[in-house]
Structure 1
Amino acid sequence: MGTHAAPRRRRPALFAAAAVTLLAGLLGLPRADGAPRSADACRTAGTTLPRGDCGPFWQVLAEDFNGDRVPLGAFSDCDHRADTSAAYCRGLRGEYRDNWWAYPTGWRDTANERQRGRSVAGVYHPEDTVSVGPAANGDGRMRVRMWRPADGGPVHAAAVVPRPVMQMKYGKYSARIKVTKPAAGYKSAWLHYGGGCEMDHPEGEWTASLSAFHHPCGGGRQGSFHGADDWTRWHTVSTEWTPGQVRFFVDGRQVGRDTRDVPDRPLSWVLQNESALEGPVAAPGSSAQLEITWVAAYAYGWR
């Protein structure tokens, strides 16, 4: 079950200790027991949902999906105040309506927009792609199962959006994910974008490698960073976006950093999953599935 923490004032007495902890993480200093520290400010390299504030970040969302069931069909009627912090899906109830939104049915995915000559693109259909429930071992998970109809037509894609961090400036964004059923023609590009700025992590075709990208706000060469070889293993992915800097992490390891024209405006975190932009297209009747075992998000700064 997730939590949506209200913003609160931090205790000044914690500042010095937190600053030391953050500095040690940034420098990759060893712990007293000799083990290397994760470079991630919240040490989000493990399998369990991190809870609580860390460094300059204060937690506003902690969701492990445990004990929750959101059947297919619930992520429906999402075209209400779309793409604003007040957006909601009428089909959701309780905490899920409070904490989650999805691109409405009928919105087209990136393969349509770029006109890359792709013979197959996608259309967002959260009502028949997104659900929440336990795995065989009881672990609660959000599932994104994209698919293409057997008679052809567009891929049914899904982009889900944590509402507590919609239109937020700076922050930290983490999740633990695994592609449990890969197939050609499907990908993710979890991103912040707007005003000519874009930060993507993780991104890649589900049958290829996992990467991060930074597209500077002023244009120019993108920053490209390899994160992991395989989507079909569990990975903890994190983006830390602070004034003048964005850093990308996979399993606690910093895989990329950029300081060129980093966004300084509020942006939303979009967990975008869609038809592939490169390589083979999705075959008729095919499907692929991504599972998320937890999501954590943080605001930036001392309050």
Structure 2
Amino acid sequence: MGSHAAPHEHVSKRILLMSVGLALVAVLLGLPRADGAPAAPAAADACRSTGVSLPRGDCGPFWQVLAEDFNGDRVPLGAFSDCDHHVDTSAAYCGGLSGEFRDNWWAYPTGWRDTANSRGRDVVGVYHPEDTVSVGPAANGDGRMFVRMWRPGNGGPVHAAAVVPRAVMQMKYGKYSARIKVTKLAPGYKSAWLHYGRGCEMDHPEGEWTGSLTAFHHPCGGGEQGYFPGSDDWTEWHTVSTEWTPGNVRFFVDGRQTGHDTRKVPDHPLSWVLQNESALEGPGAAPGSSAQLDITWVAAYAYDWK
């Protein structure tokens, strides 16, 4: 995903510039990256965010502004509706939500088109938060946000979902973490969680759910992208984190640093978008199919950059 190329359409640039095998060799051996970024050491993130439980409290140069584990919360299908208010600003809200969830969450409004619409894909997506996003207990009682995307049985666009934590909309720098798992897999669905705007883009995690979990950095104003493999399997629980500080962006999976780039890193406020959409590679979603991503916690931190 990237800047708005047309009204109600969010577009992404995805070009695979190197094989996963070569990238992994570079990481393991500490060789220089083909994209100009330094090889990623096996370093821990600032909060040591690897466990099942939601991390609480400040860590390193980051102070926590959002800590959500969804326990005890229930937001039924249909509540993420009427989201077309002050869109893409820190004042955005969904009229169908109430209480803390109205205060803390926004979603791309119904009818916005996903990235595949600009790619000539046979199967594209349209955002429908009202019938894809809910919150409640899993079978084991764990509170989760459920993102269930699906394609109607008679064909047509995939019903996609992009949710946005309001506490970190239009924030400059910070740390952004979540624990996620694809609990129902089908071809044709993907995620691209990102910060983007003004010709800059940082994506983590990104990838088709049937493929690998990766991170990308698109330097502000253009240039060769940074590509950082993180995990081969979306269907296992992973803690993913992005640390964005002046002149640096670092990506972590399960506490291990998987990427670091210093080239033209954004220095202006951006929003964190938990974007899930139709696939850009491989087969499109089959009519009548569905796939689901579970989020068991989300944490976000501001950075004291002044």
Stretches of structure 1 that go unaligned for 5 or more consecutive residues are 1-36
Counterpart amino acid of residue 88 in structure 2: D
User: Residue 214 of structure 1: which of 201, 213, 217 is its match?
Assistant: 217
1:91 lines up with 2:96 in the alignment: yes
Correspondence list, 1:226-237, <5 A: 226-237=229-240
Task: Classify 1:67/1:38 alpha carbon distance in 2 versus 1 (closer, same or farther; 3 Å).
Answer: farther
Q: What secondary structure sits across from 1:88 in the alignment? A: coil
Q: Which protein has the larger Cα radius of gyration, Structure 1 or Structure 2?
A: 1
* RMSD (Å) for aligned C-alpha atoms: 1.0
Match of 1:13 in 2: none
Residues in 2 aligned to 1:167 and 1:192: alpha-carbon distance in whole angstroms: 10
- TM-score under structure 1 length normalisation: 0.86
Counterpart amino acid of residue 105 in structure 2: W
Stretches of structure 2 that go unaligned for 5 or more consecutive residues are 1-41
Residues in 2 aligned to 1:181 and 1:52: alpha-carbon distance in whole angstroms: 32
1:260 lines up with 2:263 in the alignment: yes
Residues in 2 aligned to 1:98 and 1:211: alpha-carbon distance in whole angstroms: 31
Correspondence list, 1:188-207, <5 A: 188-207=191-210
Match of 1:19 in 2: none
Match of 2:115 in 1: 110
Match of 1:279 in 2: 282
TM-fit CA distance, 1:85: 0.1
Residues in 1 aligned to 2:265 and 2:193: alpha-carbon distance in whole angstroms: 17
Match of 1:242 in 2: 245
Residues in 2 aligned to 1:131 and 1:159: alpha-carbon distance in whole angstroms: 12
TM-fit CA distance, 1:218: 2.4
Counterpart amino acid of residue 87 in structure 2: A
1:126 lines up with 2:126 in the alignment: no
1:81 lines up with 2:86 in the alignment: yes
TM-fit CA distance, 1:130: 0.0
1:140 lines up with 2:143 in the alignment: yes
Q: What secondary structure sits across from 1:95 in the alignment? A: helix
TM-fit CA distance, 1:38: 5.5
- List per-residue Cα deviations over 1:33-78 (Å, max 9, x = no partner): xxxx961001101111000000000000000000000000000000
Match of 1:184 in 2: 187
Percent of aligned pairs with the same amino acid = 86
How many residues align structurally?
265
Residues in 2 aligned to 1:205 and 1:275: alpha-carbon distance in whole angstroms: 9
Residues in 2 aligned to 1:142 and 1:170: alpha-carbon distance in whole angstroms: 25
Residues in 1 aligned to 2:130 and 2:64: alpha-carbon distance in whole angstroms: 29
TM-fit CA distance, 1:302: 6.5
Task: Confirm or deny: 8 A CA contact 1:186 1:275 kept in the other structure.
Answer: yes
TM-fit CA distance, 1:137: 0.9
Match of 1:6 in 2: none
Residues in 2 aligned to 1:100 and 1:164: alpha-carbon distance in whole angstroms: 8
Counterpart amino acid of residue 55 in structure 1: G
- List per-residue Cα deviations over 1:134-184 (Å, max 9, x = no partner): 011110000000000000000000000000000000000000000000110
- List per-residue Cα deviations over 1:278-303 (Å, max 9, x = no partner): 10000000000000000000000168
Task: Classify 1:237/1:122 alpha carbon distance in 2 versus 1 (closer, same or farther; 3 Å).
Answer: same
Task: Confirm or deny: 8 A CA contact 1:146 1:155 kept in the other structure.
Answer: yes
Task: Confirm or deny: 8 A CA contact 1:38 1:45 kept in the other structure.
Answer: no
Task: Classify 1:302/1:52 alpha carbon distance in 2 versus 1 (closer, same or farther; 3 Å).
Answer: farther
Match of 1:42 in 2: 47
Residues in 2 aligned to 1:109 and 1:149: alpha-carbon distance in whole angstroms: 16
Task: Confirm or deny: 8 A CA contact 1:99 1:163 kept in the other structure.
Answer: yes
TM-fit CA distance, 1:94: 0.5
Counterpart amino acid of residue 217 in structure 1: C
Task: Confirm or deny: 8 A CA contact 1:225 1:256 kept in the other structure.
Answer: yes
Match of 1:166 in 2: 169
TM-fit CA distance, 1:117: 2.1
1:100 lines up with 2:105 in the alignment: yes
